[in-house]
Structure 1
């Protein structure tokens, strides 16, 4: 069958085209990059349907997507703007499809997501190209489907399968969608060549199936049990609960009241802070890998890791998981054997959870070549050192790598806070030196701080940002300073926690207040987990630079002086029973806190949870604003990505900088000024924050 249109294509709007292929009208969505259902797309489809209905020469209608996909759903850039609610709404478009006497076929390729799948659910028939993906992933943005997805999908594929799809947001591929009854046929070859005759065959039938008119059977579905299984700490927990409510409404209400209830819940969520925060993060994560300053990404073949400890092993796994061959170098056999054994153990734990089969474990292990010969690193295109956090040790390693590694190889340090420029100065190729700060466990954590030195080449930066994405990380480009973005901000966060201890709070009150706010862990339990000796070493190194007039809490130092470094010594801010990670209150620490307060002349008082949260959060915000102003981070949203993905900041609050915008920048500045008045110069407001408030800005 010829695919050449029998009439010239015409534009129904600037995002929708219409053409006749014989007796089939084809409505093409053409709104790059994902054919989002913005106001002009909805209007164009609606006009196309009317045009086809009124044309006696048209027997059937196909809706298809131009470019790489059918439709990625609502245009989320239009949310909270008039365009989002401009007529016709998606509900009106689907009503016109359902009322059509001529069959309407959705021809799906690439993906049909969110509103794109809802549009397809409104069609009489759905055909999908092999390999395409279908999903209602709105819960990931803190939303529920708002175009009828929660009402039509259960009527089409059954309540339980629909409930699972909607509240998890998980996609089905074309084959699984066919098996579930979500699509009617799969096209192996050219989609349009399949869809056109399919639509004409359906035109010969007297009536066409409408999903919203199908009977619905909710027998055996336990909505309460599904709610009980939700993780209340998930960033999208509110949306997941609302999604379950919507599907339950589909089992109790006729279609129109059900659609009204779905829309009511959608509208409430779209105006809520949690969804605004998650949408902010969605764009922030997409924006983070984009780097100004040109640079072309090169190819990375083999990767070398120097150091087979916990960090080096985790980094090796991250690359092996993505298919890269890895040389894992260690100086002595015992350390190398320990490292390889830990990698195998971690893979076997993953396999025991059913996330990897035995062949997958062996394939990944086979990609990691253990070595005791440093010369083997000479074959690698990228070498990452993961040795002890000490400048002299790192510099010695880089002198060695400079001698061993081939020309053009990238030399990366996994330092979490040391000066990259001082490390690069030990080589004859400072342009090839970069920081790749992985977060522990490196094979799990999504964040990667990519640290640009003064001499780091643009191509080296571009290559590392690209390879980070290939290994499933979210890379954030940062500049050189003490602690980069994440650990630098952590300093003020921990500082306030220490001050609050002296002023009257207990470790468990501080951690409890911040975990109830949404942090994955409290700051003191986190210090115990990370190992208090590491930050103690940093504080001692930085002691000569500390201004004498500024308040300093000695609580953490006193704890470390007793050899209490956290979980690894079974004692830090808390005590730990052998074999347990459960933090238990310790009277020894209470005594240390009281002694430090007395020596500092502090009269202890009751401290509220609200004060704990406010001071710890505003310390992050103020330091974040300084980091942005200094150009250490490219953009405020990058700071949010660092904190959500590296430091357990609640995604439903969008990150520290977005949290400040939610509070209001003027209100944030006012609180910081009040804290300066009460607690001194640690609280000097960031000039960027003052300037933005002066200009009347509401966002960074």
Structure 2
């Protein structure tokens, strides 16, 4: 197949890319574009050029698989320079998405025509990179620094209408008229004596932007990107567009790109990119396995979790029937769903009409029989096996044959629930993470008898409702919570060695986690599952609860909290810990932040190795995907298993031995062979 073809439409040369699935700018595409520009230059009958793409999108970026390999020319910057240097006007006709290198190609063109539904962006920062083919220098010259900097340093695409407003797009056209409109536009400018050259423009450059502009941008726009190296490099590159001539600015851009592309963070973020895509594939399910139709979903429980789960389906256009035992909690749950939608609408994420459409798909009920015609029913009831078994027995007798029954359990054995039904092949776990309408992760728990079609349907449905789905086998806590358990045990053990909760938490937040184990305990409530009548003051937590230190909800837990829930170390907690240490007869220990971090994280890696060894996860990258999307593990380290690969499995093994842990044979064997978890 020829990835770049050309044809003449009168005096306009139409250059078309056909490189499925996203017209990535691999070597063959780059060579084809260079050849097309040479063809246009050598043919006096050609007066203008249009660059367009077949399929669902314009060039959606570079070919990431080429990163780290020896370069094969022509390079993308060379191709873009050739386009820009054309004496004949070149028009980019954009549909779908023009992302990364795709937008850089468009910036090299003299004009840009876009379908109304198109989106344009430079998302390289999300792979730990910056635009490396002149994008950080051309975009500020075309749209100004204030519009360009967020696009480059945050990486979020913008709609075509917004691109037109800032001058990135010269003309918007109807989606079904892009081809003819692009040719007509090219013909209309073909007689002009000069054409706008992005690299030569200075009319939009504010060369006196104060340092305050960039400092304020860091404070307001990059707060959530703390720890990421690429956004700061993007700022430095954009400043170069103001302060340096174009050629020198490009040289600076390439220097910064080179440092990032060879760095650990970009390797980690590229791993995350591919890991999310790999997670959606179930290795032993044939490609031709059918997907079951899901037009109506039933949910048991209108609490925080049930309501959040419902919103995923409502937003995706799927009807939901939500069940509660009593009217008050049902009304409260429906009210919270509406408030969540209205809050999102106030932020511009939905229109008022869309809110009403979503709410119109929701049917509240107190009668389980109303779930009879659902295609999928998810229970989000109390986390108790007897309760869940009873629910599955009732659902099996009510819900139509062929419908899928799913549990939102966080820990419990889904096979035991499936055994209560006459349809075990239609039962699986769908473990959403709270808040379920926000968190991206969905653990799809593969029950022993679940059919291939049911599993494939669950994965397809997860994608439809905007989730990153990872398949887990049936084990206590599945992937994420199973690995959380040894971390919590390690944290508790350190308290008994005299290490303060804040020293433990700070070691993790400094690493990049959103919070540590004791902050998490305070947020959840220390008295969750605690019984005053049964408490004997045998643990630190027992004593804190007995002293009415319940967590954030009453302003004191492991920490003391002010009215804004800001935490400060508690002298009382320190005294309680000291008393337990003294009673144990052990001398208080002292660990560096790095040693605390390793004592927390190495046992998690060890548990991850056991999960892989048992086949509870398909691949190490699936574990990374779980922890990044469900628990806030810093993406720039690639996830727990990739991080272990980075620091060396031998280091993890030696650390575990030093801490007194039994090392997983799977981990020990890979370390001994000098292997990695991820390939």
The two structures share one fold, judged by TM-score above 0.5: yes
Q: Is the 8 A contact 1:447 1:646 kept in 2?
A: yes
Q: Secondary structure at the match of 2:469?
A: strand
Match of 2:178 among 159, 184, 191: 191
2:14 aligns with 26
Match of 1:697 among 661, 670, 675: 675
2:329 aligned with 1:335, yes or no?
A: yes
What is the distance in 2 between the residues matched to 1:291 and 1:558? 47
2:654 aligns with 670
2:62 aligned with 1:74, yes or no?
A: yes
Q: Which moved more, 1:133-142 or 1:562-571?
A: 562-571
1:597 aligns with 581
Sort the Cα spacing of 1:324 and 1:581 in 2 relative to 1 into closer, same or farther, 3 A.
farther
Alpha-carbon distance, 1:370 to partner: 1.6
What is the distance in 1 between the residues matched to 2:237 and 2:643? 29
2:47 aligned with 1:62, yes or no?
A: no
What is the distance in 1 between the residues matched to 2:404 and 2:22? 35
Q: Secondary structure at the match of 1:503?
A: coil
2:628 aligns with 644
Per-residue Cα deviation, 1:246-281 (whole angstroms, up to 9, x for no partner): 222111111101111111111111122222222111
Give the TM-score of the pair, scaled to structure 1.
Answer: 0.89
1:259 aligns with 250
Match of 1:44 among 23, 29, 32: 32
Alpha-carbon distance, 1:47 to partner: 2.3
What is the distance in 1 between the residues matched to 2:569 and 2:468? 36
1:4 aligns with none
Match of 1:276 among 258, 263, 267: 267
Q: Is the 8 A contact 1:167 1:244 kept in 2?
A: yes
Sort the Cα spacing of 1:597 and 1:159 in 2 relative to 1 into closer, same or farther, 3 A.
same
Match of 1:108 among 94, 99, 107: 94
Give the TM-score of the pair, scaled to structure 2.
Answer: 0.92
Q: Secondary structure at the match of 2:93?
A: strand
2:416 aligns with 422
Q: Secondary structure at the match of 1:406?
A: coil
Alpha-carbon distance, 1:130 to partner: 3.0
Q: Is the 8 A contact 1:139 1:240 kept in 2?
A: yes
Match of 1:98 among 84, 89, 92: 84
Alpha-carbon distance, 1:134 to partner: 1.3
Alpha-carbon distance, 1:696 to partner: 3.2
Alpha-carbon distance, 1:231 to partner: 3.3
Alpha-carbon distance, 1:289 to partner: 1.6
Q: Secondary structure at the match of 1:127?
A: strand
Q: Is the 8 A contact 2:207 2:242 kept in 1?
A: no
What is the distance in 2 between the residues matched to 1:482 and 1:421? 12
Q: Is the 8 A contact 1:320 1:367 kept in 2?
A: yes
The runs of 5 or more residues in structure 1 that have no matched partner are 1-10, 541-552
Q: Is the 8 A contact 2:599 2:659 kept in 1?
A: no
Match of 1:88 among 66, 74, 84: 74
1:210 aligns with 197
Q: Which moved more, 1:490-499 or 1:313-322?
A: 313-322
Alpha-carbon distance, 1:588 to partner: 4.4
2:679 aligned with 1:679, yes or no?
A: no
What is the distance in 1 between the residues matched to 2:371 and 2:564? 39
Q: Secondary structure at the match of 2:372?
A: helix
What is the distance in 1 between the residues matched to 2:519 and 2:216? 32
Q: Is the 8 A contact 2:118 2:159 kept in 1?
A: yes
Alpha-carbon distance, 1:80 to partner: 1.7
Alpha-carbon distance, 1:671 to partner: 2.9
What is the distance in 1 between the residues matched to 2:543 and 2:27? 62
Q: Which moved more, 1:91-100 or 1:593-602?
A: 593-602
Alpha-carbon distance, 1:679 to partner: 3.3
Alpha-carbon distance, 1:121 to partner: 0.7
Q: Is the 8 A contact 1:141 1:236 kept in 2?
A: no
Alpha-carbon distance, 1:580 to partner: 5.2
Per-residue Cα deviation, 1:581-619 (whole angstroms, up to 9, x for no partner): 334434443344334434544321222111111111211
Per-residue Cα deviation, 1:54-104 (whole angstroms, up to 9, x for no partner): 233433322222322220111111112213xx3322221122222222222
Q: Secondary structure at the match of 2:225?
A: coil
Q: Is the 8 A contact 1:139 1:236 kept in 2?
A: no
Q: Is the 8 A contact 1:230 1:237 kept in 2?
A: no
Match of 1:227 among 218, 225, 228: 218
Q: Is the 8 A contact 2:207 2:243 kept in 1?
A: no
The runs of 5 or more residues in structure 2 that have no matched partner are none
Q: Secondary structure at the match of 2:249?
A: helix
What is the distance in 1 between the residues matched to 2:564 and 2:227? 30
Alpha-carbon distance, 1:621 to partner: 1.2
Sort the Cα spacing of 1:344 and 1:687 in 2 relative to 1 into closer, same or farther, 3 A.
same
2:551 aligned with 1:566, yes or no?
A: yes
Q: How does 1:572-587 map to 2 (within 5 A)?
A: 572-576=557-561, 581-587=565-571
Count residues with an aligned counterpart: 665
Sort the Cα spacing of 1:382 and 1:235 in 2 relative to 1 into closer, same or farther, 3 A.
farther
Q: Which moved more, 1:117-126 or 1:316-325?
A: 316-325
1:543 aligns with none
Sort the Cα spacing of 1:259 and 1:679 in 2 relative to 1 into closer, same or farther, 3 A.
closer
What is the distance in 2 between the residues matched to 1:108 and 1:352? 31
What is the distance in 2 between the residues matched to 1:335 and 1:79? 53
2:372 aligns with 378
Q: Secondary structure at the match of 2:496?
A: helix
Alpha-carbon distance, 1:670 to partner: 3.3
Q: Is the 8 A contact 1:246 1:261 kept in 2?
A: yes
What is the distance in 2 between the residues matched to 1:609 and 1:559? 25
